């Protein structure tokens, strides 16, 4: 669970995350420039863009794992984030069962953990060593770990990478289903554009650290910059609409003065 810095400042509307003009540099390089992002309850927001566009950096910034230099980031007070990273290093010299990994995740709520295990469909893996899991199994275990934190925001960095097509589709349907059950907002990075268009409420397309276009999947696909990046894409198979309430108050996460800059 990542708890973002809290300050009791009211914010415009009931978004989970509200980022404005977020800018992040590393040395001379600008990794993010003037990025605006809002994430509402129960919304699936997908970040797309070519390799190196800044998607992981933006996702990590939005959930408080990276500082930023300029801009404004507001979060709902007490926001809990479940994060499934793109890479998860498993130390082969330190055997660890799935059960142990999940209990180390920090959640003291064993009911939530059991529920997460069931929801992610990993009950049969609990006694298995983490280092022996297949790529697809590890994704689901990491998903269970994220769910056990009862997140308000589920952040997934390329959760479908390396999965076969059926596994990708079923993972996305599972995320949709869990979003409906848990009511969290989802921030997800994906390179599978068909899946993105079928399963997202909002798409933000990044290029060189900037937002080049954004909107609902159907409209983003028509955007010239999107087409320039990705070419023509066939029609999405389904679009899942969402509804969310706008409860008030967000909390600002201040730019960090100690942000690594070199």
> Which residues are near ligand ATP by CB under 6 A?
26, 29, 31, 49, 51-57
Cβ-based nearer residue to ligand ATP, 178 or 212: 212
In the bound state with ligand ATP, the residue whose beta carbon lies nearer, of 38 and 158, is 158
- Closest distance between ligand ATP and the C-beta of residue 44, in Å? 18
Q: Which two tokens stand for residue 1?
A: 């669970």
- For 111, the token pair is 């009911």
CB of 29 to ligand ATP, least distance (A): 6
Neighbouring residues of 66: CB distance < 8 A, sequence distance ≥ 6: 24, 57, 60, 259
Nearest distance, CB of residue 90 and ligand ATP, angstroms: 20
Please say which residue, 26 or 244, places its beta carbon nearer to ligand ATP: 26
> Residue 12 CB, nearest distance to ligand ATP (Å)?
27
- Contact predicate 27/86, CB 8 Å: no
Distance of alpha carbon 11 from alpha carbon 28, whole angstroms: 33
d(CA 35, CA 54): 10
Alpha carbons within 13 A on the beta-carbon side of 240 = 19
In the bound complex, what is the minimum distance in angstroms from residue 129's beta carbon to ligand ATP? 27
Residue closer to ligand ATP, measured from CB, 39 or 125: 39
Is residue 209 within 8 A of residue 31, CB to CB? The reply is: yes
Instruction: Return the number of the residue (191 or 227) whose C-beta is nearest ligand ATP.
Output: 191
- Say which DSSP state 163 is in: -
**β partners of residue 186:** 44, 154
């Amino acid at each position: 669970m990542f708890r973002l810095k809290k300050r009791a400042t009211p914010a415009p509307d009931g978004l989970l995350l509200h980022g404005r003009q977020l800018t992040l540099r590393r040395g001379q390089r600008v990794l993010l420039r003037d990025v605006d992002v809002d994430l509402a309850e129960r919304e699936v927001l997908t970040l797309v863009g070519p390799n190196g566009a800044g998607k992981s950096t933006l996702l990590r910034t939005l959930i408080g794992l990276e500082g930023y230099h300029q801009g404004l980031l507001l979060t709902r007070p007490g926001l809990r984030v479940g994060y499934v990273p793109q890479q998860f290093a498993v130390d082969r010299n330190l055997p660890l069962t799935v059960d142990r990994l999940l209990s180390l995740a920090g959640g003291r709520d064993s009911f939530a953990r059991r529920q997460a295990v069931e929801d992610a469909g990993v009950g049969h893996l609990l006694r298995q060593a983490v280092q022996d899991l297949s790529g697809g199994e590890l994704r689901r275990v990491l998903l269970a770990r994220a769910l056990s934190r009862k997140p308000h925001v589920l952040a997934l960095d390329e959760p479908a990478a390396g999965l076969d097509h059926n596994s990708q589709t079923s993972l996305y349907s599972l995320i949709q289903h869990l979003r409906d059950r848990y009511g969290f907002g989802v921030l997800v990075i994906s390179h599978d554009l068909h899946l993105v268009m079928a399963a997202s409420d909002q798409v933000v397309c990044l290029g060189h650290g900037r937002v080049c276009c954004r909107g609902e999947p159907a409209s983003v696909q028509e955007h010239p910059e999107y087409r320039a990046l990705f070419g023509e894409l066939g029609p999405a198979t389904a679009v899942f609409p969402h509804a969310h309430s706008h409860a008030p108050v967000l909390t600002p996460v201040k730019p960090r003065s100690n942000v690594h800059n070199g």
